[in-house]
Amino acid sequence: MKRTIMLGLLATLSLSQAQAQQTPAAAPAPAATPSTTPPRTGVATSSYIALGRYYYGQQNYDAAYIAFRAAVEAEGTNPDALLGLGRTQVKLRLYGPGIDTLRRLTTTDKSNVSGYIALSDAYVEQYVGSTDRTIVKTNLDQALQVLSNAETVAQASTDKDLNLAKVWNQRAYVYRLRGEPSRAIEAANKALGYDPENATILFNLGGLYFDSGNLTAAIDSLQRAVIANPSDAYSRAYYAKLLALSGNATAAKAEAAQAARLSPNSAYAVGQYGVVSYLAKDGATARAQLNAAIKLDPLRYPEFYYYLGRLSLDSNQLAEARANFTKATALGSTNAEYFAYLGQAFERSAGGLPADRLKARDAYTRALQLQPGYKLAQDGLNRTK
């Protein structure tokens, strides 16, 4: 695969050099005057950037990384090259190098709003992707500080409204992770005020409404997101899930299947097809899609392990259920529901596998610590005392 990628890059570079050679040569400088003309790197750099963007758009991040790195090596201060490389490094979970690259961008180009937003996102993604939050405990504060710098720059930018919409949308996401739902919804609505038909903002706002328990508002926001950008698999997949939760299983499965077709390499779209299939009581499709999603991205979506656990628990495959719920709680350590179902898996016995009431009690206790008064967990704790 990498050999094919490199051949493509070499072909691109050869084309760049050929284009450079076709340019009429300048008259030679007098012998006594040393040449101060820099080497011609612009064409090669732009070719690498174009190739990197293509691969990035195809979600082929390994190839995009090679292209953007070549662009940065050709022209180390090119803002598009640095932005592309930094974003790609984050996609590949090279969080430290990605943050360094994007810091370099915002240092060399202090007016680059996209650079600040990408840097904020890098801090957030490192936080989300970490299994030990104590190591990255300051990341969300750093993300907000970067966004303050971005807002200052955006106020003076040509595309002021669009840039401010991006800043406030990113703020909403950070507030969500900080456990401040009211501030998150307020920030998302402010972003929407600057860019009312932006599918990404509508997607995020829908998620915030869902988290707050307002399913009707969430569905409305996601429907608007799908209308605004019909080819966006993420919005369509989430919309499908919300439709399923509202009881409209038929429409939900159709939307989820379409999302997976639109983006077959997207773990999110494929996994949500699995979630919707589970909610629609189609266990075979659910298991196939959830396993495919985890293969695409094994660390980002604890929800997919949770639903695999639910499938296993439903069929009394307790060893699998315990393993999947354990993974879900490890990746989603603040979700009470994951711990409550882990407790159920340990509380039961089947197929020669005994119950483990101590582990069940610990799981129920953790669920109640996360969500005091949670009935499913409280009932389980009462049974295992």
Closest CA to 71 of 50, 54, 90, 48: 48
Q: What is the pLDDT of residue 42?
A: 65
Q: Which of 354, 337, 279, 345 is nearest to 317 (CA)?
A: 345
Contacts (Cβ under 8 Å, ≥6 apart) of 49? 67, 68, 71, 78, 80, 81, 84
> Is the CA virtual torsion 245, 251, 257, 260 positive or negative?
negative
How remote is the C-alpha of 270 from its chain's centroid? Answer: 14
Q: 350: helix, coil or strand?
A: strand
Q: Is the pTM of this model over 0.85?
A: no
Please provide the average confidence, as pLDDT, over all residues in the chain. 90
Question: What is the structure's pLDDT at 9?
Answer: 53
112 neighbors 77 (Cβ within 8 angstroms): no
Dmax over CA atoms of the chain, in Å, equals 94
Q: Which pLDDT belongs to residue 328?
A: 98
Determine contact, residues 243/219, Cβ cutoff 8 Å.
yes
Residue with the two structure tokens 């950037």: 49
Extents of the domains making up the chain: 301-385
- pLDDT single digits (tens) 246-275: 999 999 999 999 999 999 999 999 999 999
Q: What is the DSSP letter of 36?
A: -
Any idea how long the chain is? Answer: 385
Q: What is the mean pLDDT of each run of 10 residues along the chain (385 residues)?
A: 48 45 42 41 84 93 97 95 98 97 97 97 94 90 98 94 97 95 97 96 96 96 97 96 95 97 96 97 97 95 98 97 97 94 97 94 97 97 95
pLDDT tens, residue by residue, 118-143: 999 999 999 988 878 889 999 999 99
Can you give the pLDDT at residue 252?
Answer: 97
Burial of 67: CB neighbours in 10 Å, binned 0-12, 13-18, 19+:
buried
Q: Are 99 and 126 in contact (CB under 8 A)?
A: yes
Integer Cα distance of 181 and 173 in angstroms: 10
Say which CATH topology domain 301-385 has: 1.25.40
N-to-C CA span, the chain: 56
Do residues 289 and 303 make contact, with C-beta atoms less than 8 angstroms apart?
no
